[in-house]
Amino acid sequence: MNFKMAKNEILQIFSRTGLQDLAKLIDWMKNTDDLEDFLVDNKRTVLKSIAEDLRPYLPLEAMIPSETMAIQKTQQNSEPTVHVDAFLYDEETVDSLCEEGKMSRNYCLNCGSRRTSLLEFISHSFSIPELLFLFHHVLPDLTGKLVVDVGSRLGAVLYGGYLYSAAAQLVGVEISEEFVKLQTMILEKYGFSDRIQVIHADICSQSALVQKADVLIMNNVFEYFLKPKEQVRAWQFISQHFQKKGALLVTVPSIQEALMSLQESNVVSALGHWLEEVPLDYNAYQQNDADPDSLTQIHLYRLL
């Protein structure tokens, strides 16, 4: 139902309610806690609406044909794995798609039998609960700060930062043009361009931006999208240009894990001169809609 239809239905209910009960109804609407979920988290509703707008532009697996490396890597996982974008598809939406037979959480162990096992889901975007955790419990007050999302993809971090933080500027850098177009469409539709900018570029061409950033967000940026040699080059670029004392770096997974998989143990041992990890309270997020394992993948570092 769109806004106009919903508004008309409410007005019709008012017009059909007896005068005495109408007074009670209006009083209830003004004072009840029953509507809190709808009213308090209007921002979550905006994020869900953005996800709804983006879904028709992408296939169900939310990968574009040019992402051959990411598609191959997903297929090479030791457990059968599918990509389900957690920003586009929250748990409720996945459940309804499974009921409709459009998505499955299971795979068949030997075809034709009823023996099934759970598929692994991976996501290339933060979910809405992860965004809330990030901006309310991981990062401090961002008033006046410049936040850069390295590999902004659908723009989840940028929209989350716009709605859930006071960051002065949020800049997304994305190497895939298709995703830049989708983000630009959302910025225009929701009027976010006063604080969000999206740049179509390889992050390694953005030294001035990286040097200025107060917060750099790196959610599994390189692992699925660049060859190991290119990943090493990109990490070297980040460590050489992101040097502002006290600036914050958010990574998924931990920076040690990302670099160890590249067998860059010499770089890992030099990390202590560049940054220190800031301990996080993973229990701070009290709502039960987040996957606790995915929250513990989020790490925060302060530059020395």
Question: What residues does 165 pair with on adjacent strands?
Answer: none
Tell me how far apart the alpha carbons of residues 175 and 205 are, in angstroms, rounded to a whole number.
11
**Binds ligand SAM (CB under 6 A): choice among 221, 249, 250, 295:** 221
In the complex with ligand SAM, which residue's Cβ is closer, 188 or 230?
A: 230
- Binding span for ligand SAM by CB under 6 A among 4-12, 29-37, 171-179, 254-262: 171-179
Asked if 176 interacts with ligand SAM (CB under 6 A), we say yes
Asked if 89 interacts with ligand SAM (CB under 6 A), we say no
**Binds ligand SAM (CB under 6 A): choice among 53, 202, 257, 264:** 202
In the complex with ligand SAM, which residue's Cβ is closer, 88 or 247?
A: 88
Asked if 235 interacts with ligand SAM (CB under 6 A), we say no
Place of tokens 């160890």: 260
CA distances from 3 to 7, 44, 103, 148, 284 (A): 6, 17, 29, 34, 34
Asked if 203 interacts with ligand SAM (CB under 6 A), we say yes
Cis peptide before 253 (omega within 30 of 0): yes
Size of site (CB under 6 A) for ligand SAM? 25
Question: What residues does 179 pair with on adjacent strands?
Answer: none
Tell me how far apart the alpha carbons of residues 138 and 298 are, in angstroms, rounded to a whole number.
9
- Which residue in 262, 249, 250 sits closest to 223, CA to CA? 262
Q: Pattern 136-155, binding to ligand SAM, x per CB under 6 A?
A: -------------x-xxx--
Tell me how far apart the alpha carbons of residues 250 and 299 are, in angstroms, rounded to a whole number.
6
- Element housing 170 (H / E): strand 169-174
Tell me how far apart the alpha carbons of residues 51 and 48 are, in angstroms, rounded to a whole number.
5
**Binds ligand SAM (CB under 6 A): choice among 219, 250, 267, 300:** 219
Indicate the angle between helix axes 265-274 and 228-241, nearest 10 degrees: 20
Tell me how far apart the alpha carbons of residues 282 and 237 are, in angstroms, rounded to a whole number.
30
Indicate the angle between helix axes 177-190 and 42-54, nearest 10 degrees: 140
**Binds ligand SAM (CB under 6 A): choice among 51, 103, 126, 196:** 126
In the complex with ligand SAM, which residue's Cβ is closer, 103 or 175?
A: 175
- Binding span for ligand SAM by CB under 6 A among 108-116, 170-178, 181-189, 271-279: 170-178
In the complex with ligand SAM, which residue's Cβ is closer, 51 or 103?
A: 51
Tell me how far apart the alpha carbons of residues 87 and 107 are, in angstroms, rounded to a whole number.
23
Least CB distance from residue 128 to ligand SAM, whole Å?
11
The interface with ligand SAM within residues 179-198 (CB under 6 A) comprises: 179
**Binds ligand SAM (CB under 6 A): choice among 47, 128, 157, 298:** 157
Here the tokens at position 238 are: 């980040």
Asked if 220 interacts with ligand SAM (CB under 6 A), we say yes
Here the tokens at position 182 are: 């989708």
Least CB distance from residue 33 to ligand SAM, whole Å?
33
In the complex with ligand SAM, which residue's Cβ is closer, 224 or 247?
A: 224
Binding site for ligand SAM (CB under 6 A): 87, 124-126, 149, 151-153, 156-157, 173-176, 179, 202-204, 219-222, 225-226, 234
